Structure 1
Amino acid sequence: MKRRYMLIILGILLIGITVFLTVQLSQPESAKKETTTDNIEQQQQEKQPGYTANEQEETPEEEYAKPQETNGEPITQLREIFSEAVQRTIDFFANREANVTALGDSLTQGVGDNVVEGGYVSILDNTINENHQLVAFDNYGKRGHRSDQLLKWLDTPEVEQSVESADIVLITIGANDIMQVVKENFTNLNMNDFTQARETYEEHLQQIFDKINDLNEDAKIYLIGIYNPFLNYFPDIRELSMIVDDWNETSRDVVEQYDNATFIPVADLFASGEKHLFADDHFHPSHQGYQLFARRILDYLTDQ
């Protein structure tokens, strides 16, 4: 009974967050100008081919985030935070041309980072290419994407072409699959709902990996794990961490089926719940949070 009560509370919270984010996205243009993150998202939408304001969220051909210039603004901070990792990365990519395709949800799009557009992807870009252009980045992250939508996204011609030429594919996916369960069952939520959805997620993830390998069997695939975004709301509810751990374990199991794939855990980076690691919505990472993201990815890239 207590577990069900906690899950219902979680459901109500998620609905509230969804309404909050929806209101933020639907603000009039004058209000959007006051919110840096919303400006970034709107600019990303308008820059894509064929963008129209009336397109539906489920349409895979809509909004994606292309890498943006940041004029080197965060480079000083990056030097301090990445230290040895920066030099290892430069050495790793020296004397070789590389293409990186980033796919996934709002974490790949960079929602919550009010310093650079593109979150951890842009941080990686600025770090690796600080002095010389060593790596080309394509960022196709889309806010709200679930695993089924990412699978459709891979059929988009521009995404297909990017994956075909990629040496490395970075993926963040799964968090919105969990949120979908809550939104559809929040009046009668139980752990079995998450178990069934996790099995579907596993199937989609296998199909995503198979699709990427069909397009480019030589690409290295890095699946970035899920963190618990509710630490600032319910730090003591054990079920939340259990759900995140179960989904990360499923992701790891899928990755182990593919010789060219690696799982990158990130849940521990946010386990402290430190507020400066989260954006103003207390849900997505802040610029500091994305810096930790990028540092962890650099460590795994250079260890291979």
Structure 2
Amino acid sequence: MQRKKRTAMISLIMGILLLVSVFIYIFLPEHEQAKVETVKAIASVNQEQSEDTVEIPVEKTPEAEEVQTVPEEDEEKPITEEIKKRVREVVEIALDFFKKDQKIVAIGDSLTEGIGDETENGGYVGILNHTFEDHNLNVTVENFGKKGNRSDQLLKRLKEEDIENAIKDADIVLITIGANDIMKVLKSNFMNVTMEPFQQERLKYTERLEAIFNKINELNPNTQIYLIGFYNPFERHFGEIKELEIIIDNWNSAGEALTGEFENAAYIPTKDLFSNSVIDLLAEDEFHPNSSGYKLMAERVLEYLKESNKETEIDSVEVAQ
């Protein structure tokens, strides 16, 4: 009984060591010494098992009490082949999403253009582009952001030939739009901020945003659309005006609800990134993000791209510094 327990324990240890060796082989292929040491450990356990294992002899004679074991070299061969097979599977999965060139098209307002980025790297879109380049991914990024664009203006721009052609070939479309719609109402009511004019404009904004989604799907029904939500740039200087906070939340909720009506659309929140931050995330104009703010946005967008493209090479990508 004790011998059976010991044999079972040795088999368990072998299984664990084999699993560790597979992980080392897959994830640290450049560390040859680690592979050698792992193989030695397995061989050592094999040796212990060969010494401790007793087989029932065919004949009850001293000459027949020789232990019959599988030769070590025969046992290593299927292990090696299994490891190679697993490596091929992992590589195939990792590269599946990026076998062909992927294309991201960013459309919208100044947040897409990258206004406020003191490094002049193109805001969150530029950071994403540099990130893909740093990781040698076959991802191209086209930026059609335009400072001051409202939702009605973006809807008109979608008829421009260069934007149409870009969206037709896009795997992903990123959108920032609506901040200037809010600002237009705010400028007309700043001395007397009430909810009513913002509620009325929000309904029109939602209708235009739906038209934008429909136009994108008309051009390319196979693309994935991401609507990036608003943050509150007024929190620092006008935090006492609670209506502004409510307005931002209501407009974000409207955009998020609309994306839920489209199978190929998703909403990416950003308000929490800028709320109560201990570091300065806004540019000198106190409205647009600075490079630190855009970096947080890029990280958030990348999180959602990873979620939509699981088991792909993008899953291991980190935003460029």
Please give the TM-score of this superposition, normalised by the length of structure 1.
0.68
Give the Å deviation of 1:235.
2.3
Matched, 1:125 2:96: no
| The structure with more radius of gyration | 2
Q: Deviations over 1:8-39 (max 9, x none)?
A: xxxxxxxxxxxxxxxxxxxxxxxxxxxxxxxx
Question: Map of 1:153-232 to 2, 5 A cutoff?
Answer: 153-186=157-190, 188-232=192-236
Q: Tell me the equivalent position of 1:150.
A: 154
Q: Does the CA contact (< 8 Å) of 1:93 and 1:134 recur in 2?
A: no
Q: Give secondary structure in 2 for the equivalent of 1:166.
A: coil
Deviations 1:124-156 (A, max 9, x none): 000112142411111000011110001001011
Q: 1:243 and 1:266 mapped to 2: Cα distance?
A: 15
Query: Higher helix proportion, which one?
Result: 2
Residue segments in structure 1 that go unaligned for 5+ positions in a row:
1-89
- Relative to structure 1, the CA distance from residue 106 to residue 204 in structure 2 (aligned partners, 3 Å threshold; closer, same or farther) is same
Match runs of 1:6-17 below 5 Å: none
Deviations 1:250-298 (A, max 9, x none): 0011101100000000000001144521111111101010000000000
Deviations 1:147-182 (A, max 9, x none): 000100101110101011100000001111000112
Is residue 231–residue 273 contact of structure 1 (8 Å, CA) maintained in 2?
Answer: no
Is 1:264 paired with 2:268?
yes
CA contact (8 A) 1:120 1:290 kept: yes
Matched, 1:235 2:229: no
Offset of residue 91 of structure 1: 6.8
Gaps of 5+ in 2: 1-93, 309-321
Q: Could you say if the C-alpha distance between residues 130 and 138 of structure 1 is closer, same or farther in structure 2, counting changes exceeding 3 Å?
A: same
User: Which residue matches 2:252?
Assistant: 248
Residue type matched to 2:262 in 1? Y
Secondary structure in 1 matching 2:236: coil
Instruction: Give the equivalent residue in structure 2 for 1:62.
Output: none
**Residue 102 of structure 1: SS of its match in structure 2?**
strand
Report the CA distance shift for 1:232/1:187 in structure 2 as closer, same or farther (over 3 A). Answer: closer
What SS does structure 2 have at the residue aligned with 1:276? coil
Q: Structure 2: how far apart are the matches of 1:129 and 1:219?
A: 22
Q: Which moved more, 1:90-99 or 1:266-275?
A: 90-99
By relative contact order (CA 8 Å, sep 6+), the higher-ranking structure is 1
Where does residue 298 of structure 1 map in the other structure?
Answer: 302
2:76 paired residue number = none
Distance 2:198 2:291 in 1: 30
Q: Percent identity?
A: 47
Across the aligned residues of Structure 1 and Structure 2, the Cα RMSD in angstroms comes to 1.6
Question: 1:94-113, CA deviations, whole angstroms, 9 ceiling, x for partnerless residues?
Answer: 43420000001110000010
Q: Does 1:116 align with 2:120?
A: yes
AA in 1 matched with 2:99: N
- Partner SS, residue 294 of structure 1: helix
SS at match of 1:244: helix
For 1:117 and 1:153, the matched residues in 2 are separated by 24
Cα shift at 1:114 = 1.1
1:232–1:273 CA contact under 8 A, matched in 2: no
One-letter amino acid of the structure 1 residue matched with residue 266 of structure 2? T
User: Higher mean Cα deviation, 281-290 or 124-133?
Assistant: 124-133
Q: Is the 8 A contact 2:98 2:137 kept in 1?
A: no
User: In structure 2, do the counterparts of structure 1 residues 186 and 276 end up closer, same or farther at CA, with 3 Å as the change threshold?
Assistant: closer
Distance 2:191 2:242 in 1: 20
TM-score (norm 2): 0.64
